[in-house]
Amino acid sequence: MSGPRPVVLSGPSGAGKSTLMKRLMKEHEGIFGFSVSHTTRNPRPGEENGKDYHYTTREVMQDGIDNGDFIENAEFSGNLYGTSKAAIQDVIDKNLMCILDVDIQGVRRIKETELNPIYISIQPPSMDVLEKRLRDRQTETEESLQKRLEAARIDMELSSEPGVFDVVIINDDLERAYEELRDLLSDEIQKVKEVKS
């Protein structure tokens, strides 16, 4: 895949990935494109098909996975999630920098492909802070919260292994974390601007 280098953003739920990503896309409008993932879960209130996710059935998605149409996929809480090659190519074809928001399993799978992204992990300062953030959202049952916390513990451990990520950003201060992310991507942002001008 030619064009700007994609960015793989990873980190546990509640680490602040979405907040940082939305801000980056707002500040650099027309530079980034978000790779819209597929999922078999039902939309939450306010979510739109094709914008938040491509909502699909397990059968259709499993066929796509079996045919090699997905660069990565995982199962979480009984639902499939994945990134299709077509979703990434759609973004790259628009001369945009593709942002992929994937879990640690997804990072490992992408490392086995020819995609050459910048791997960035967004991590919370501690498990306590993460648990508070997730509880404050009030979107989880206690059972699903515990699953997310367990997944976060594993994610935090694996993200500290050498060579998994190009950079690990600890989101203990949103401003500082955002500046670190923006500075890290400034060269690639510049390349997209040059192609567009």
Catalytic site residues? 44, 137, 148
Give the position of tokens 């979510």.
47
Report the alpha-carbon distance of residue 103 to residue 158 in Å, rounded: 11
Single-letter amino acid, residue 100: L
Single-letter amino acid, residue 177: A
> What is residue 72's three-state secondary structure?
strand
Listed residue (43, 100, 47) closest to 73, CA to CA = 100
Report the alpha-carbon distance of residue 143 to residue 101 in Å, rounded: 24
Report the alpha-carbon distance of residue 13 to residue 20 in Å, rounded: 13
Listed residue (136, 139, 137, 126) closest to 172, CA to CA = 126
Give the position of tokens 């999922």.
39
Listed residue (160, 133, 118) closest to 9, CA to CA = 118
- DSSP-assigned letter for residue 93: H
